[in-house]
Chain A
């Protein structure tokens, strides 16, 4: 039994998410409290500031219904913790780690602070294990490695959920048999239908028993959304670094998390920064995204795939912008491709995987993989330039070579990006080489003479 102390009648003021208590107990900063209202509901909170007379409690759930007289506060005398064991797999929790699937409570093996501690950079091992997802635009062009944090930048109405499920179901090391993997899913302010979609998909593919689901639905308290990813990541860290599993964490939708942060910071009276988001949005997001990686001497890894919907499809909006500065790349979905019926609608040019170079090439995927990806990027970038030109002056005004690029661009999208079933990396690479064969040799400056001889000219 963890120690706790109950205090009643100490509340002196409630102001938005802040509850002021007379300081009748010697408690420390950031310690957790449970606030029991006269309405019978319990709200989590933490101690945000202390002076000699008062404690300031930041409520992490709605304060509606609280009164001064009948509020009872339970002090946990430690920061918010989450009790965990492998029993969490196959279970469903609410946004603050309480079981909601009707089953028994989970047995507790160890308890962890939900804020985590920063990983010692020296203890981190460099992530380098290539994960095959079966998606060409990812495997060939923006390879994912174990321990990476790679978000999907999407927009409302785009098939990001489907893509995330597909990656979760297929993501395996090449040539390896069934592994000790687990999935931690955190739905942050997601609609019920979306949470249900994930659950049904995991059920259908048989991975549900290896998954722990944390659901904060759109109808749940918005301030609770600040806790949901922390509970989920604490569970993931436990599975990865204590139980030695390869954990894939799906956080969706990070935009709702940031909106909740803006809401709370506004109520606290913080000085608003860009678009009303608090100035510490970067540091705050970093405390979540940085909880991914591999550690020396430990078998487990933690890979993060977070989904965020870009407000009005604007990649310069603070949420995707700051995310992109923290994460190791991004997969960007495009409305234009989606409209053209291309699935997955991955916009290859703005997408990026920073850890790709460590996971591909000689000894891991294919010696020629890096050069092929680089050449495809160069050619596709020229194709989009030619497209812009063609949209103004018409195809007739283009040079012969630009017309070839136009055809290349169309082929790239329809044959390589678009796919109906999973592809091996070899199959993706074969399509890549085939597309390049349509371009003249002098354009292929990123391929070596040997590569041109082997893949382009020998098969022309």
Chain B
């Protein structure tokens, strides 16, 4: 391994005179504490490295030792249910109250291993070496590293082994042999290879009505959640981590609050996974790099996270990667870039910001893995634009990469209307691809009127146009006054408000409303659409707007989310019946002119 000696140091950046060869992006260890760093520039016999930890006390002459590997992490069975820092070093030990620099790698953990390959077989990269049962009792696959293949010379019998112990030897066609353990090393900045990319026709079910029904994200899709401070990005991401339909959640707190991480760590072990009933923590990997931890490690944390996500994808699992927040990552990129003396571009960010964002989001995909199974990584990233201005570089570059855009709105957040997603600024390019999936959901419901193949898309369009009209009419009302609007337009405003309150608002703190399954979403959409339709018909036959607005059915409609539980199918039928009879009881008011 090569050694270099520091000749200049300032903040997290150092220059060192190298006595041997170093590679670009090679991981290095600095000083006696072995601080982790990465080579970022090579010039003659001088290397420039960024250090991922506090550099206090370093001085010229201190040794910088090359590792021979690119900056990477060890992927294995010891990931699920645990918390790591941005460089995937475990943070589980609560006995140390502070994060001390230079923490060494932990002792290897032991797992029960059952081989899935036999001696003499030919193992390809990414194939299943064996299976383990992790500490939580979850069955997981151990993979042959994607860059290794060959004939299995030896493989250990079932038993309990440390995760870094070589259990098998592969001999490649060129005769070289390679030892394979349960866990393997992978450089974080390099996407893990796949056999084939697949189109996605299935959504990541989030349990959030406004997302699933109006702005869905496909499995293997990518979504951005921009919002100013206090608009509920973190609460939304946490709600998704709790209830979305992924097998594995990788949650990255990138430059965010320590107390939020404490909240997640406090809550997740106690909450049950809605699909398996097991503690939520067992399907979760948390990567915490809070805002006061070293900034360079923040830059690396999202690459560590996406590599972990890809590792689970390669086991044939559906993975959701939640990043809070990508703006902090971009800022770390900017901070480090400035230290190197790179010329700043837009907003002080380095000129390669756009391509880095593109590269990162491109790692989201639904794929056929090297082992032949289907896996996916769905990336959901929050953005914290300065003063909530979406025209800033990070938001605008991200907007070009993602297919779903969930814009958070400060007005909604201020009236505690959550999730505060603005339906007029948000969009989803995935919605057309997901039509057939939703058609199956609707097909399972009892028929309601003539069967239409694209009922979901039609309802979705109906709601979105209604909300659009609301915005237009409210602008007009501001000029002429609300009471000057004709009854039909007042009804539109009323119905839009009903859709907002009864459908789009969803309380993350209500037991019933925390999660809303696709079936219930469909039933709620139908109920509201039915009301709108009947209300318009009633108005047309001369019923006054006031009479419709005063109907008793309005309140139960507004509170469907909190009052009707997931399994209470009958309640929707009752609601429809009650609605019909209330509408039937409305009589045209004598003074009202017919508008039909």
A interface residues with partner B (beta carbon < 8 Å): 23, 26-31, 48-52, 56, 79, 116-127, 147-148, 241, 270-274, 279-280, 282-283, 286-287, 290-293, 295-298, 315-318, 321-322, 324-326, 328-330, 349-350, 352, 354-355, 357-358, 370, 373-374, 377-378, 380-382, 388-389, 392-394, 396-399, 402, 441-442, 445, 448
Contacts and interface: CB of A to CB of B under 8 A. Distances in A.
Contact of A124 (B258, B387, B501, B562): B258
Nearest to B91: A122
B50 interface: no
Contact of A397 (B99, B228, B484): B484
A127 to B, nearest CB: 6
Given A381-B415, A392-B478, 20 more contacts: A23-B60, A28-B58, A79-B57, A116-B98, A120-B97, A123-B97, A125-B266, A126-B259, A147-B259, A241-B97, A273-B348, A279-B335, A279-B348, A292-B259, A322-B386, A325-B229, A349-B415, A393-B481, A396-B481, A402-B482
A398 B97 CA distance: 58
Contacts of A399: 482-483
Contacts of A147: 259
Interface stretch (B4-12, B165-173, B309-317, B521-529): B4-12
Interface stretch (B104-112, B127-135, B289-297, B429-437): B289-297
Contacts of A378: 415-417
Given A316-B387, A393-B480, A445-B555, A321 B229 contact: yes
Contact of B263 (A126, A389, A393): A126
B1 interface: no
B293 A279 contact: no
Contacts of A27: 59
A357 B418 CA distance: 14
Contacts of B263: 126, 358
Contacts of A50: 8-10, 59-60
Interface in B479-497: 479-484
Contacts of B262: 121, 124-127, 293
Contacts of B348: 271-274, 279
Contact of B334 (A272, A279, A392, A448): A279
B230 A352 contact: yes
Interface residues of B, number: 84
16 contacts: A28-B59, A52-B7, A79-B56, A121-B258, A282-B291, A283-B332, A290-B257, A349-B414, A350-B414, A378-B415, A378-B417, A389-B482, A393-B478, A397-B481, A445-B555, A448-B559
A161 B65 CA distance: 53
A120 B387 contact: no
Nearest to B349: A279
A51 to B, nearest CB: 4
B477 interface: yes
B596 interface: no
A117 B57 contact: no
B339 to A, nearest CB: 9
B93 interface: yes
A117 B98 contact: yes
A28 B98 contact: no
A365 B57 CA distance: 48
A123 B267 CA distance: 14
